[in-house]
């Protein structure tokens, strides 16, 4: 083997090791996310089955949608026989923030083959974005790192949803309606964790009041969408005036 060929082989070997290490770093960084997904995913699976979905349908929803907040709201709307258009509109609005997350992350993932972006975009969640942005700058192959991070988080969410959905068949909740409190409690906790200013408290309280008002005055499940849109306008107005 010539010296130039040997150098080329060595470079390729080193490059492959770096790529594999970046992927492994992503997997390790996702472990806290997976641990956080475990109780929420199981709760989603149980709630979905209790609302009339089969265990397989609940699992497939996690496989193809992979958006916890949108999935949780969707099953409530499905259970209340909401219009398909309302469910689609709600999912679009709830996940609209992913456009901003993707745009920010794309600054670290330039010059990749086009086929990479749909897969990486699908794997973006609030948690994977937060962890990824805090650590991706130290990685040589940034796309390999985020792929390992996102894929591990994705598998954690799908598996925890499946566990919760299939376990529901062996658990008798009776008519206590205990699972009805899962969704409100979960979103209240997520909201409280993200509030950091008085303006956010105002917007949160305003959206809650609007949602209750529309739920009492308008038929269907449009209260969530209308409250979200109007509260967003209030949030933009407050931000612009500060």
The mean pLDDT values, 10 residues at a time, for the chain of 242 residues are: 49 53 89 87 87 90 88 84 83 81 83 84 86 79 89 94 87 57 64 75 88 83 78 81 68
pLDDT of residue 19: 61
Concatenate the DSSP letters of all residues of 173-198 into one string: -TTS-GGGGHHHHHHHHHHHHH--SH
pLDDT of residue 14: 45
C-alpha count within 13 angstroms, C-beta hemisphere, residue 204: 15
pLDDT of residue 68: 82
- Contact between 37 and 160 under an 8 Å Cβ cutoff? The reply is yes
Q: What is the 3-state secondary structure (H, E, C) of 44-102?
A: HHHHHHHCCCCHHHHHHHHHHCCCHHHHHHHHHHHHCCCCHHHHHHHHHHHCCHHHHHH
pLDDT of residue 7: 44
Q: Which residues contact 47 (CB under 8 A, 6 or more apart)?
A: 72, 75, 179, 182, 183
pLDDT of residue 181: 66
pLDDT of residue 12: 47
pLDDT of residue 185: 66
């Amino acid at each position: 083997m010539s010296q130039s060929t040997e150098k080329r082989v060595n470079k390729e070997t080193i490059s492959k090791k770096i790529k594999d290490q970046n992927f492994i770093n992503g997997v390790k960084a996702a472990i806290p996310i997976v641990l956080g997904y475990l109780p929420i995913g199981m709760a989603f699976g149980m709630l979905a089955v209790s609302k009339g979905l089969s265990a397989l349908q609940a699992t497939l929803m996690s496989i193809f949608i992979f958006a916890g907040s949108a999935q949780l709201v969707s099953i409530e709307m499905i259970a209340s026989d909401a219009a398909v258009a309302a469910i689609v509109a709600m999912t679009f609005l709830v996940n609209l923030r992913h456009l901003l997350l993707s745009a920010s992350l794309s600054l670290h993932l330039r010059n990749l083959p086009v086929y990479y972006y749909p897969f990486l975009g699908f794997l973006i969640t609030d948690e994977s974005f937060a962890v990824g942005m805090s650590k991706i700058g130290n990685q040589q192959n940034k796309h390999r790192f985020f792929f390992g991070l996102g894929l591990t988080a994705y598998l954690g969410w799908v598996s925890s949803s499946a566990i919760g959905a299939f376990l529901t068949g062996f658990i008798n909740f009776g008519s206590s309606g205990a699972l009805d409190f899962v969704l409100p409690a979960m979103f209240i906790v997520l909201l409280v964790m993200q509030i950091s200013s008085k303006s956010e408290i105002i917007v949160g309280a305003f959206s809650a009041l609007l949602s209750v008002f529309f739920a009492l005055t308008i038929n269907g499940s449009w209260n969530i969408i209308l409250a979200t849109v109007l509260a967003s306008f209030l949030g933009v107005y407050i931000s612009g005036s500060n």
